[in-house]
Amino acid sequence: MDAETIISLIASIASLVLAIVAIWLSLHQKKETDAVNENTKQLLIEIRTDAKAISNVAMPELRAYGESMRNYVFHVKDGGKEIEESSEIIDSVKRELDELKQSKQISQELSEKINRIESKLDASQTAIKKGDEFPDENSLIIDLSEFGYNEMEAEINQFDTVQDLLNTLYFSFLKDHVGPYTYNKQWVIEDVDAQQKVSSFGKADYRTLPEAGIMGGVTYRVKQV
């Protein structure tokens, strides 16, 4: 047997081995694919079962809970008992905040934050007593009746800085009544419920509104000084 015949025989054997390996890999891959498909099928069945359970059991419970909460917050029942209880809870929280403010261990910044929280509580309490929805925290309401105008209502994120708000109020409503850059001298913005003045020098005030204590969902008014 010459060398050429031996090489040809070896090549044939190698081809046969490779063919057997390829067939084995194909069968193994098919087996793995079938197993994955079966697992996926079982998962889909479980998901469908869970979805039916949620639809039939959990969703009615959630709807009932939501309805009961809406009735509690917005509706008057049993002679206004729910509204009275909500108002009492808010009063209790406000008393605790007042006690906290009287502590000498809190900073001025924390005291100002407590004042802002109290303003929101006052607004929510007023809304509950009126049977209204809670104030929109994105809405800024400013009463301009002292200068002969109605309320100005705008999105609070419309104003990047306190100066933007002061400029809007001045050029839109106040320029015929007060001089330029006269905030704190001729006019101020005041929280209606807390009766607290918004502090500002009235010029180049680049603080954000929350940094100055101006919060959405609270009603303010413009007053003459």
Residues 6+ apart with CB under 8 A from 183: 166, 200, 201, 202, 203
> Residue 66: its pLDDT value, please?
58
Could you give the CA distance from residue 68 to residue 60 in angstroms, rounded to a whole number? 12
| Residue 87: other Cβ atoms inside 10 A | 16
> Residue 75: its pLDDT value, please?
45
Residue type, 15: S
Q: How far is CA 214 from CA 29, 49, 115, 165, in A?
A: 66, 50, 11, 10
Domains located in the chain, CATH noted: 136-225 (3.10.20.90)
> Residue 78: its pLDDT value, please?
47
| Residue 193: other Cβ atoms inside 10 A | 17
Could you give the CA distance from residue 75 to residue 78 in angstroms, rounded to a whole number? 10
Q: How far is CA 102 from CA 18, 92, 94, 96, 105, in A?
A: 87, 16, 12, 10, 9
> Residue 115: its pLDDT value, please?
73
> Residue 208: its pLDDT value, please?
92
Using one digit for the tens of pLDDT, what is the confidence trace for 28-43? 788 888 777 787 777 7
CB half-sphere exposure, 73, CA atoms < 13 A = 12
Spans in the chain with pLDDT lower than 50: 72-79
Strands 219-224 and 139-143: parallel
